[in-house]
Structures are given as C-alpha cells and as structure tokens.
Amino acid sequence: MKIEAHKLITIRKLKVFLIAGLAILFSLGFHFLVTVTLADHDVRIGLTDLFLPMLLLVAIVDLAKKNEFPNINIKYGWYWTIVLTTWVLISFVIGVINSSILQDWVLINKVTGWFVLMCYFFCGAWISGQNEIVRRLFLKYLILVAFLIGFYSLSIDYLGEIELFLPFIEYKLRLQGFSANPNAFGILMASVFILHIPYILKNEFITPKVNFFISGVLLLCVYQTLSRSAWLGLIIAIIGLLFYRRECWKPIGISVCMCLMMNFIYVTSIPYSYQIAIDNKVQDRIISVTKSWSEKSNSAADVGVPVADSNTGNKSESKSKTTYLTNLIGDIKVKDTSKTNKKAQALKNSRLTSFNDSGINYRIDMFKRSFGYWVDSPIIGIGLGGYLWKSKLENKNPHSYIIHNSGIWLLTEMGLIGFLLFLVFFSNCFFQLVKKGQETEPLTIGMAGILLVMLGASIGTEILYQRYLWFLLGMALTVRPTEQGERL
C-alpha cells in the first residue's frame, strides 16, 4: 500500500511539473510570432502553436480520466463557444456563396485560426482549474519575459539611434519586439502592463522597486512602438482601473513617472552617446576587428586545399572560401544614418501631433468602403473574406486583407447578428470578471483591464485573433470560488 501511495504521489508530482513546464513555455511563446507563407498567403504563426497540441493532448487525457469539464463562470458557459463557432462557419459559407470561390486565405487564417483560438481558450480554462501554483507561474513568467524582450528591444533601438552595430542589427523605426508587427507588440505590452498592476497592489511576484521598474519599461515600450491603437487601448484601460480601484492610482502613477524618467534619460543621452561613438571611432573599430577576424578565419581554413577542375580534371589551388560573416560584412563602411534618425524623430513627432497621415487616411477609406458593403447585407453580412473579394472585384486597393477595426469587420463580414453575438459575449465576460475581481485573485481584474485594452485597440486594428487574449480569458473565467482571497 505504501509503495502504491508513493507511486501515486510521484505521478501527481510529474503531472504538475509537466503542466508547469508547458505553462512556462506558453508564457515565453506568446511573445514570439513569425510570418510564413502557406498557399501563397502570409500566415502568422506563434511559438505557442508548436506547444498547443501537446498541452491539448494532456488536457484531453486528464479530462477523460476525471470525467469533469472546466466550469466557465459566465451565463451559458461553453454554449457561447458553440454559438460563436457556428456563426463563424455560417459566415464562411456565406462568403463562399457570395464570391463563388473558396479563398485559401480565409480558410487558413479565419476559419482554421478560429478553431485554434478555441483550443487556446479551452487550454487556458483547463490550466486555471488545475493548480494555483501553475497559474501563478505562467503569469509571473509572462510578465518577466515581456520585460526582458522589451528591455532588449529598447537596447536595439538605442544602438540604432546612436548608429552602432548597424551592419549587424536590424534597426526599425518602431519597436516591434518579436511580434513581427509594432501594433501587435504595443498591444501585448499594454496588456501585460495592465495585468501587472493588480499584482503590484498585492505586492506579489517581486519586490516593489523591481515591479515599478518592470512596469516602467513596459510603458516605455508601448510608447516607442508608436502604435496609436495600443496607446488608445492603454488609456481606456487605465481610466477603467482608476474608476474601479482608486488605489490603483499609486502603482499607475509611479509607473508613469518611471516611464517618463526613463524616456528622458533615453532621449537626452542619445546625442552624447552618438558623439562619444564618433569621437572614438567605435563603429570603425567594430567593423575593422570583425573583418580582420573573418579574414584570418578564412585563410586558416582554406590554405593549400587542392580541388579538381571540373573541365580538365587537373588539381588547382582552391580559391578562398567566403564565409557567411564575410558575405554579411562585405565592404561595409560607416554609413551616414542621420537621415534615418531624422526620419524616426519625424515619425514620432507626427504620430503625437498629426492625425492626417497615411495610416489614418487609408483606415478612413477602408471604413467608408466597409460600411458600403455592410449596407448590402446588414443582417448576416457579406461573409468571411468578403471585404477583400469585393475590393478586388471593384479594382480598389484593399490596403489589407482584413479591416483594421474589429467592430466594423464583424458588422461587414458577419453582419449585425455576428456583431451582437460577440458584443454580448465579451460584455458578459467583462461584467463577470469585474464582479469576481472584488473578491478573487488579481487575474480577474487584470483580465477585465485587458478587455478594455482590446476595446480601445480595436478602433484602429483587428484584435479578435490574439492568442493570449483567449488563453488568459479562459484562465480568468475559471478561477475557482474556493480560491477567493483578500480584497485588493
């Protein structure tokens, strides 16, 4: 009996370790996105997509043994996922009927992508119901990894501003981390910042000073992405938190002050760092040392290696092989990137003061055209992919495969029915999270704040297909009542 009990305890420990490991991998993977081409269309794949099948398999096996499904704390629970999925499929069929073609992009990105999102929602709900320690591990690493990636991205941006390591780093005018898109990165950083605030109030995870430094870096990253969608979402979420929890003003205020101080140091130190680098010819030395090292490596590897001539069969002395590094460097000279820096500064200034640039103008054109399409079929919509298909049919520039506004996209392609279904679902989730946030752990109020971030960000971009949104929503909605803690 003792041996069997010991084996049972060991199995349970292994299970917890496995789930905790997968949770940590997910917290890392949400920050990494790559764009691949499938069926001649770009598809954005997250690192978490590689781990999702494994986590899904573990969850299904566990549920089969327990014969117990995760309980979602909203009215009608899992029926909502069935209703939403059904309408997505109906919209897909409507799109195929209207266009008379099956669009590969819609099938892969929208339909298959939706089922992937439901898998994330299910896995988040299952993990949350397993173990409080696992949930806290996931959230802790999600915040820490966001901080590390943000700090790394700011460092790369700084090196680009002072024109160092330019042959070897990819300098972007806007921060985008590993999300392959500044808007996606900005919204993710804003979401993590809002999620972090309730944990600062409870003084969890790390010491207060470190917490405020982390939140300051996250805020600075949101600013440096120059994503107005992320800015708007962040502002709405901060206002919402302040109305809901007046005591939030302290961590938010300190974080904002920390961000302003960091940005002041960041901006004012650039001219001095740049001048120091020029005076000491740092960039020249970097290139010189790298070239010298590369040439020595080539000569050491290629001296006296005979090769056969393909035409005569005679052996001749081999030519010096060019390594990847030499190809990368070539005949690099110190580039004059002052124009690039001026362009970056002009871009930052215009996004702060101007509302008449190409980004806003093409969105306005997109929205006007979308409303015109919606009028043609206001109740059921024109179907998934209908906006792209109709734009091409009229020989008009669609600007994008998707409409950069979640509400207008739902109205146009899923009709009033689809819009109302998603509106009621997210409203139901929000009010339930706010209600639970008064008595349970910080995740619930943090998730309510993230929904406000998404609400604001959705005005300028499409946000429904964010993986972490559905995963965290599933986690927050299944926090058990038995885990109620002290009021924030």
pLDDT of residue 304: 40
In our burial notation (b when 16+ CB lie closer than 10 A, e otherwise), range 429-464 reads bbebbbebbeebbbbbbbbbbbbbbbbbbbbbbbbb
7 vs 97, residue with greater confidence:
97
pLDDT of residue 482: 45
pLDDT band at 194 (very low <50, low <70, confident <90, very high): very high
pLDDT > 90? residue 186: yes
pLDDT > 50? residue 178: yes
pLDDT digits (tens, 9 = 90+) for 36-68: 776 666 677 888 888 888 888 888 888 888 777
Distances (CA, A) of 276 to 129, 158, 340: 55, 14, 19
Taking residue 235's Cβ as centre, other Cβ atoms within 10 Å add up to 14
Asked if 227 and 456 count as a contact pair (C-beta separation under 8 A), the reply is no
pLDDT band at 271 (very low <50, low <70, confident <90, very high): confident
pLDDT band at 317 (very low <50, low <70, confident <90, very high): very low
pLDDT > 80? residue 481: no
pTM confidence score: 0.81
Asked if 256 and 219 count as a contact pair (C-beta separation under 8 A), the reply is yes
pLDDT > 80? residue 408: yes
pLDDT digits (tens, 9 = 90+) for 195-248: 999 888 877 667 778 889 999 999 999 999 988 899 999 999 999 999 888 888
pLDDT of residue 187: 94
pLDDT > 60? residue 289: no
pLDDT of residue 307: 39
What is the arithmetic mean of pLDDT over 160-166? 65
Query: Per DSSP, what are the bridge partners of residue 43?
Result: 36
* Highest averaged pLDDT of the listed ranges 324-328, 437-441, 470-474: 470-474
What is the arithmetic mean of pLDDT over 73-94? 90
3-state class (DSSP) for residue 46: strand
pLDDT > 60? residue 117: yes
Q: Report phi then psi at 123, rounded to 5.
A: -65, -40
pLDDT band at 316 (very low <50, low <70, confident <90, very high): very low
pLDDT of residue 335: 40
Asked if 166 and 340 count as a contact pair (C-beta separation under 8 A), the reply is no
Average predicted confidence (pLDDT) for the chain = 77
pLDDT of residue 278: 66
pLDDT > 50? residue 306: no
Rounded (10°) CA dihedral 160, 166, 168, 170: 50
pLDDT of residue 382: 92
Distances (CA, A) of 183 to 148, 376, 455, 468: 19, 31, 14, 15
pLDDT of residue 13: 60
Q: Which of 65-69, 267-271, 287-291, 449-453 has the lowest mean pLDDT?
A: 287-291
Short-list 439, 478, 437, CA closest to 197:
437
User: Is the CA virtual torsion 162, 163, 165, 171 positive or negative?
Assistant: positive
Q: What percent of the chain has pLDDT over 90?
A: 29
97 vs 100, residue with greater confidence:
97
Beta strand 315-317 with 306-308 is antiparallel
8 vs 427, residue with greater confidence:
427
Q: Which of 285-299, 361-375, 453-467 has the lowest mean pLDDT?
A: 285-299
Integer Cα distance of 251 and 254 in angstroms: 5
pLDDT of residue 323: 38
Q: Which of 68-82, 97-111, 301-315 has the lowest mean pLDDT?
A: 301-315
What is the arithmetic mean of pLDDT over 90-101? 90
pLDDT of residue 293: 52
Rounded (10°) CA dihedral 199, 143, 44, 121: -40
pLDDT of residue 161: 74
pLDDT > 90? residue 472: yes
The shares of helix, strand and coil residues in the chain, as percent rounded to the nearest 5, are 70, 5, 25
pLDDT of residue 421: 95
